[in-house]
Every structure is written in structure tokens, then in C-alpha cells.
A and B are shown apart, each in its own frame.
Chain A
Amino acid sequence: MITSGTGIGWRPELALAIDRDRALSFVEITAENHPDLARLPAHLHQLRERGVAIIPHGISLSLGGAERINVQTVKHLGALAREFNSPLVSEHIAFVRAGGREAGHLLPVPRTKASLAVLVENVKAAQDLLEVPLALENISALFDWPCDQREIEEAEFIECLLDQTGAMLLLDVANVFANTRNLGGDPIAFLTRMSKLHLAYIHMGGGYESADGIYHDTHAHDVPQGAIDLLEELAAFSPPPGVMLERDDHFPDQASLATELKRIRDALNRGAARLRLAGDCRSPLA
């Protein structure tokens, strides 16, 4: 697999805690936070020398947008990958701007044949400019498009997208938790289908539920137990690739961060144990 073990989203506020956790096998960097290759944090190079993989992750490419992609944004992802000898880069199945306005966040794309065709064309254009594989991430949203704009269900939409582009999936399990909570759907059925795709790595971010029952995917709170349970289910289907924690604000102290990572590792171990047990039951007795 292209990634393994556990990782974390690198942020300057977390650098010390990341440095002290020798069990981390990869970190993800947000490409837009590091626009200048001449001024990359020295810590990233130190991690690289230690054997920690570094995965550039973009947030502004707007692959699902109607506009053609910005070549410079893709090239910057590629340049970061070259700098750190990264195994891959990643972006989102989303759009972030339209009609001359920036949304400031990832928005879901309509799930029609026409929008899939645009997305596929944009992804292929990005892949043509990259020397490493591209992984695409499922996002979370508080709303969905109207019925006539979702002729393809999300799982099938992602399957078609990967099939037509050869891209890998960056599976955000916490986003699956968030979307099924806020918009409905069966998270286990969704994950079962996703587990059969070419997985690059897995995101686990935190959030909270507001008084009106809406779940907010903030990356500023602990990972909800429901998302941890889904990760265990995923690991019980098949051995997953690398799994990483996303934390973007309200940074915890080192002990709390270690606890969050331990919850992830424990869920993976529980899932792996169930998978072994299931395998033992299937195999004929010697």
C-alpha cells in the first residue's frame, strides 16, 4: 500500500508533539499553507530524513468546479511532492469558487453525468501535470443538491470517478460519519463499497454536535466515538492503508493528542483482530 501506519496533519502548533511521537509514519501538509518552497519549515525536512513520509494536500484546486483548473496550483502540489519525495498528493471531490466568488470552503458537486464528466476532465488535466499519483477525498457538507442534481448516489459517483481517472481515494471516515448523520444514508454500506476501491490513506477529524442536532466537522474537537467505530468497521473489512488525524484548531496538549492517536490505533487493532477472527473461521481446520 502507498501509505501505512498512523499519521497526522502537520501544523506549526503541533510540530513539537509530532517531533516527539516516533510512531508516526507520515504527515500531511496543506499545500496552500506553504506557498514558498524556499521557506518551508525545517522541521519537515527533519521529519523526512527520519523516514516520515510527507503528503502534500491541496484545498483550493476546485476540481469539481466548472472552471478549468489552475495549472500553477497543480504545479505547486507537484513541486512539494518533488521536494519531499512524496509518494502521492491529494485534493478534494469538491468545488470552492464559482461566478467570481470564493466560497472559502469545500462545497459538494452536483452528482449528475454532466458534472461527473467535468470533474473527470479536470482530474485528468491535473494528473497530466503530476509525476506522482493523485488521491481524491470525499468531503462533508451540511446540505445536498436538489433531487434532479443527484441522479447518481455518492458511492457510485466516487466509484465512477476513480474508475474513469485511475485516481486513488483519500477516504475521510469522519466525513462519512458527518454526512450520514446530517443528510442520512447508511455509513456501513457506504464504507463497504469504499473499502473495495484503491485507498490511498484515511482522514479522521473531529467535530461536535450543536443543540439543534447538527454535527459540525470542525477539526477543532476530538474525533467523535461514532467515527472511531466506523474506522473499526472499515479495518474489519480489510487491512486499511495509513490513517491520519486532522486537527486544525484548539490544539490539544501533547498528552491529549497522544490519546486521540491512541483511540485511532486501538480502533484499527480491534478491526484487525475481528478480521483475523473472521479469516480463521473461514479457513479449513488443519
Chain B
Amino acid sequence: MSDANRDNLAAAQAKLVAALTAGDDSPAGFDDDRLHLTARTLLTKRRQAIAKIWPVLAESLDDRFAAMFADYAQSRPMPAEGHAADARAFAEDLLSQRELPDSGCVALLLARVQTGWPIRLIRLFQKKRWAIAIRIWRRIRWLRLPF
């Protein structure tokens, strides 16, 4: 089979996925309404998966969760590693904008300390304190520092 076959298919599929996940215009010939509906369904599915993996993150953002995630997802495609990686990246993004509530920060701290360096710090912006997490073998402990 010719590689042109795959190239043509790749181009058509890429345009469709970009329309469904990144807000690009619908490719010619598609039903616009149905693509928008599908895009909303995909976004909801992605957001619900994050809420399931990290309920604390969703709860800490409360009614801002849906809108903030929609903003975020517009320019960030879902990572191939799956929903856990998506949740983690979303939390990191919120932290970098100082939009991550303290309970979400603690959840992110605990996620960070699972791998790599066994000692991690995070700034809790609401309480204006640091939190520290330590991993010893597979046990993890964390506490809020007094400053």
C-alpha cells in the first residue's frame, strides 16, 4: 500500500481532531453542530476523568472548575499518557498562575513526591506557608511548615 494513502488519511484525521479538541474550524463537509457537540462531549469526558482521579482538585476549584479547565484544554491537548498525566499538568498550570487552592496544592505535592526527588516543597498561597512532603521507601509523609 502506498504511503500516500496514510498521508492523506493522516491529514484528514488531524484536521478533524484539531476541530474537536483545539477549537479549530470544522473541516469542509462536516456537520458543524454535531462536531461542536462532539467537542463538548470530549471536553466533559476529559474533565470528569480528572475529577474522578483527583476529586480534591475539582472540589477545591468548585464552580470555577469547568470554566478553568475549558480554558486550559483549549491550548493543551490531552497527553498520550492518559488522564492522570492530564490532571497533573492541569494542576501544575494552575499553580504557575497562582490559581491552585491550598488543598489542590497539597494533592499536587503528594503527586510530585511519588517519583523523582524524595523531598518536595510547595507554596500554599492562601495560607501563605510552605508544605513539605518526604518519601521514605514507599511511605509518604507531609506537613505544613510554620512559615
Q: State whether these chains interact.
A: yes
Chain A: residues with CB nearer than 8 A to chain B? 32, 65-67, 95, 97-105, 107, 110, 114-115, 117-118, 121, 141-149, 214, 216, 249
Seed contacts A101-B14, A105-B45, A118-B5; 9 additional CB < 8 Å A-B pairs:
A98-B16, A99-B10, A99-B13, A102-B80, A103-B21, A105-B41, A115-B9, A143-B35, A145-B30
Chain B: residues with CB nearer than 8 A to chain A? 1, 5-10, 12-18, 20-22, 27-31, 34-35, 37-38, 41-42, 45-46, 48, 77-80, 82
Query: Main SS of the interface on chain A?
Result: mixed
Cβ of B29 and Cβ of A143 under 8 Å apart? no
When chains A and B are docked, how far (Å) is the Cα of A256 from the Cα of B30?
40
* Residue numbers in B under 8 Å from A141 (CB-CB): 38
* Residue numbers in B under 8 Å from A66 (CB-CB): 6-7, 9-10, 13
How many A-B residue pairs have C-beta atoms within 8 angstroms? Tell me: 93
When chains A and B are docked, how far (Å) is the Cα of A65 from the Cα of B14?
10
- Minimum C-beta distance from B37 to chain A (A): 5
* Residue numbers in B under 8 Å from A32 (CB-CB): 82
When chains A and B are docked, how far (Å) is the Cα of A142 from the Cα of B45?
14
Across the interface, A142 reaches (CB within 8 A) one of B6, B22, B34, B80, namely B34
Across the interface, B41 reaches (CB within 8 A) one of A97, A99, A118, A216, namely A216
Cβ of B30 and Cβ of A146 under 8 Å apart? yes
* Residue numbers in B under 8 Å from A104 (CB-CB): 21, 42, 45-46, 78
* Residue numbers in A under 8 Å from B27 (CB-CB): 146
Closest chain B residue to A113 by CB distance?
Answer: B5
Cβ of B6 and Cβ of A118 under 8 Å apart? yes
Cβ of B22 and Cβ of A102 under 8 Å apart? no
Closest chain A residue to B46 by CB distance?
Answer: A104
Cβ of A97 and Cβ of B10 under 8 Å apart? no
When chains A and B are docked, how far (Å) is the Cα of A113 from the Cα of B9?
11
- Minimum C-beta distance from A218 to chain B (A): 9
Known: A67-B10, A103-B21. A97 touches B80 (CB 8 A): yes
Cβ of A146 and Cβ of B28 under 8 Å apart? yes
Cβ of A98 and Cβ of B10 under 8 Å apart? yes
* Residue numbers in B under 8 Å from A142 (CB-CB): 34, 37-38, 41
List 12 interface pairs A-B (beta carbons < 8 Å), by A numbering.
A66-B6, A66-B9, A67-B6, A98-B13, A101-B14, A101-B77, A102-B77, A102-B80, A103-B17, A110-B9, A118-B1, A121-B1
When chains A and B are docked, how far (Å) is the Cα of A65 from the Cα of B27?
17
When chains A and B are docked, how far (Å) is the Cα of A68 from the Cα of B32?
29
